[in-house]
Amino acid sequence: MLINDFGSKVVLNRFIDLFGFHKIYEQKLVSQITNDLLPNHIAIVLDGNRRWAKYNLVGIRRGHFMGADKAEELLNWIHDLGIKITTLYVLSNENLLRDDNELNNIYDLLQFKLEKLRTDSRIHKRQMKIKAIGDVNLLPEKLQTILKVLENETEQYNSMFLNIAIAYGGQKELVTAIKKIGEMILTHKIGIDDIDEKTIESCLYTSHLPQPAPDLILRTSGEKRLSGFLLWQSAYSELIFMDVFWPEFRKIDLLRAIRTYQQRIRRFGK
């Protein structure tokens, strides 16, 4: 996509927001969505923080900060709609190769937001189980600690699920699953002929979920690829790519994605 095309859409979205048309459009979208056809599990690639910062002539740190604020808003929209499972792709294992200054800023921001999440009474009122999925051991110790605290304090909940994909890589997840299965064979817990889809799913990061496979995967920023996100789980997920940088993602963008999802016919290969 040409950057000029993307830029024109950004300008149009801001014009709509400026004059309050988004509220009218939001109400229209809500009326078009069927509650009994909502996705049970939605996964989102939060992409475009750095490009949003560049486009708006501000520092990268500001872009990440705005993106983190938007993720907080998203959780409220998800709750209002009644979607049970949310998986957010926050940081890939490839992202860990970025500049140290940028990474340290991201780690500090995540630490702040996760501490805030821990004290948010809505998490407990909503009975939301929180879990980090990824190679968490690669993260700074203080970040590992708060993630573990969140997991421990919400492990008994099962009304809603929030999965934070951090230091995550889809190929690494599959390698980890294969190693677990190999260990099960070596210890004679299973035989080779016992390996099936359920065996693999039980060894994935998402094994704690009542529905590991997302119904809908959404990516912002105009990029049209999954970048290794939930490689196994996404086999029959509906994919939607949106021309909006993550910090400018709005409730109407989420509603539009859900409307598009509901208009599709899911055959699951049949």
**Backbone dihedral angles phi then psi of residue 73, each to the nearest 5 degrees:** -60, -45
pLDDT of 152 over the 80 cut: yes
User: Percent of the chain having pLDDT more than 70?
Assistant: 92
36 tagged catalytic = no
- Residue 67 tokens, joined: 């993106």
Q: Of 31-35, 101-105, 139-143, 240-244, which range is least confident?
A: 31-35
Cα 125 to chain center, whole Å? Answer: 22
Query: Annotated catalytic, 101?
Result: no
Residue 1 has pLDDT above 50, yes or no: no
pLDDT tens digits, 81-114 = 999 999 999 999 999 999 999 999 999 999 999 9
**How does pLDDT run across 7-48, given as a tens digit for each residue?**
555 555 555 555 556 778 888 898 899 888 999 999 999 999
Instruction: Name the catalytic one among 40, 95, 105, 158.
Output: 95
User: Which residue has tokens 């950004």?
Assistant: 10
Tokens of 253: 């963008």
Chain-centroid distance, C-alpha 169: 13
Residue 9: its pLDDT value, please? 56
Please, are residues 11 and 55 in contact by the beta-carbon 8 Å criterion?
A: no
Sign of the dihedral defined by the CA atoms of residues 186, 192, 212, 216, in that order: positive
Q: Domains in the chain, ordered, with CATH?
A: 39-259 (3.40.1180.10)
Average pLDDT, the chain: 92
Q: 101 in helix, strand or coil?
A: helix
Mean pLDDT of 175-190: 97
Across 110-130, average pLDDT:
95
